[in-house]
Structure 1
């Protein structure tokens, strides 16, 4: 069991104390003290490993099932004995410009917090360190942890949005560059970028409703003094969602511009091909006529017949070339 417990501590009057092995005893003491709570952090527990924690804290079976299976959308569920918040922290890999999402479940109840993490994206270590240096925040109880975790996740959203915007500017420059590479490679990059934006949107978009509920009144286990903090998180999330919407619109514009440029380039290529085909067709036609080998054909017996035919071919081709050049087809 200890291998899945990333950290465990009792916080009394905003200060950390060692976590005893007996969770139920520590929880009872925290509730009796009135100014303490227990925070347990787990990483990808199995059903058997999580069963003890779920039993000690009387977590709802549906929430336990969601925490174990993961692959949940951001949401807030209210149960009799706890709140259940699902967050999707994101990680941006600059090397290949990809966004990967993890999952972070937060259970908050009477004098306890249980966090369950899936994936590599992990803001919890930083959050715990920051909170332990801010006892005035920890004194608000388990709600402070839920706020701090949400704030860390959403603030990182803003950083990822900025990184994606930088990548989009690079992609725009490539699309509109006169010396860009093959169109197929650019199109693949655009669609790959759209997939990253979509993955990011799945993490940020659904979280707006839970943050609005936490910022309002009437949600159990939420300290009244923490509502302004959740409103601040909601404001940051709104900025993030606006940036994601802007990225999506810009990507659609970039894709439309790329397709338009591809169409224009194809038309240019077709005009060039048609022009060269016309210039080749004229001498081919003349040579074909005089290659039919009929006995009685004009100029066959003339000494000047061959140079006149060749000159006629060259003159017509030169005239067509100059005509197509003036029209911009070549």
Structure 2
């Protein structure tokens, strides 16, 4: 029987005890999935589940229901539950335990969401697009420069649930940084939400700085001596990758602005000051992305102009050489008509004279083309 079926079976019992029974059944039937490196050793979507009391980590077991019960009895802490690409069945018990809205749960499971901030009663639901820079030895027309993922965050009065999609953007180091600052962590779930937002936006800034090196290289290649021969596909690919970064950063401006300015019950006013700093960093990143987009447009236009100029130069050279070849072709064509009465046909010096005239005309044309820059 599935986890959802188990939940329906125990609907007549106490909610907490029923969820505990379902959790035990799920643990018995769950196999270790070592093929998924981002998942926990138990093979489930739960990467970590930790309780915090006054900013300090509380030792506890792996049972989520027990952990939530202990926190709610003391009423001065919160639970941080980390998930990675959970399925619908894995989220059923969690959604019921924390009373999460079905629409938010659907977005968290399905992923591929636009950065946003939504409020469902006492719960905040935030979506962040994570980015990372893909290292490469040389930029090509098929190089992947920016890789994206998603982090969904549920924030309540006594819990934070993070749902991560993608193989980057691990929150482990962020958790360790927060645990090293108990004063900040004691401010509750809002402090975790700020740390995640700050972490995501800092990645935007770092990635834009890395992308700038690729843009500088492309710009140098285009304006080099043989810039017309540069691969335009590299510029277009870089624009496509920059678009991925733009889709992640630009829509986040409004949610961060709301967190920084609008009164929200789940966000302590003291934390809102930190969100203003995040908003400033995000503004810097979005402005830099917009500037890069304009710069790439200019580089692409300059490259196309160079190609056009190079083609015009080639056409002028071809035309000049065709004009030079046309002179002997015309003279030889006239004397090749085999008429009996032709000028200088029977003269001893007629042949050398014709050759001299051809050479003289070609030399005059060549010098004229050289002076005009066609050759």
Q: Distance in 2 between matches of 1:269 and 1:64?
A: 62
Pick the aligned partner of 1:58 from 99, 102, 107. Answer: 99
Are 2:228 and 2:303, in contact at CA under 8 Å, matched by a contact in 1?
no
Give 2:284's aligned residue: 239
Aligned counterparts of 1:21 and 1:61: Cα–Cα separation in 2:
25
In structure 2, the partner of 1:137 is: 184
Superposed counterparts of 1:61-210, under 5 Å: 61-95=102-136, 96=143, 98-180=145-227, 182-183=229-230, 185=231, 187-210=232-255
Question: Does the Cα contact within 8 Å between 2:159 and 2:189 map onto a contact in 1?
Answer: yes
- For residues 371 and 228 of structure 2, what CA distance do their matches in structure 1 show? 28
Q: What is the CA–CA distance in structure 2 between the aligned matches of 1:279 and 1:217, rounded to whole Å? A: 78
Whole-Å separation in 1 of the counterparts to 2:350 and 2:113: 85
Partners of 2:253 and 2:284 lie apart in 1 by 11
**Residue 319 of structure 2 corresponds to residue 274 of structure 1:** yes
Q: CA deviation at 1:175?
A: 0.6
Give the C-alpha shift of residue 97 in structure 1. 5.7
Q: Flag structure 1 segments of 5+ consecutive residues without an equivalent.
A: none
For the residue of structure 1 that corresponds to 2:114, the secondary structure is coil
| 1:11 counterpart residue number | 52
Q: SS in structure 2 opposite 1:94?
A: coil
Report deviation, 1:21. Answer: 4.4
Q: Is the 8 A contact 2:46 2:81 kept in 1?
A: yes
Matched, 1:248 2:293: yes
1:195 CA drift (Å)? 0.7
Cα contact 2:227–2:303 (8 A) shared by 1: no
Aligned length: 328
Q: What are the ranges of 5 or more consecutive residues in structure 2 without an aligned counterpart?
A: 1-29, 31-41, 137-142
* Counterpart contact for 1:58–1:81, Cα < 8 Å: no
| 1:99-140 Cα distance to aligned partner (Å, 9 max, x none) | 010011001012000000000221411110000001101111
Partner Cα separation in structure 1 for residue 70 and residue 262 of structure 2: 29
Is 1:292 paired with 2:337? yes
Q: Say which SS state the counterpart of residue 342 (structure 2) adopts.
A: coil
With normalisation by structure 2, the TM-score equals 0.84
Aligned CA RMSD, in angstroms, stands at 1.5
Kept in 1: contact 2:51–2:60 (CA 8 A): yes
Q: Which residue is equivalent to 1:263?
A: 308
CA shift, 1:33, in A, is 2.2
Matched, 1:30 2:38: no
- SS state at 1:89 partner: strand
Q: Give the aligned partner of residue 87 of structure 2.
A: 46
- TM-score normalised to the size of structure 1? 0.96
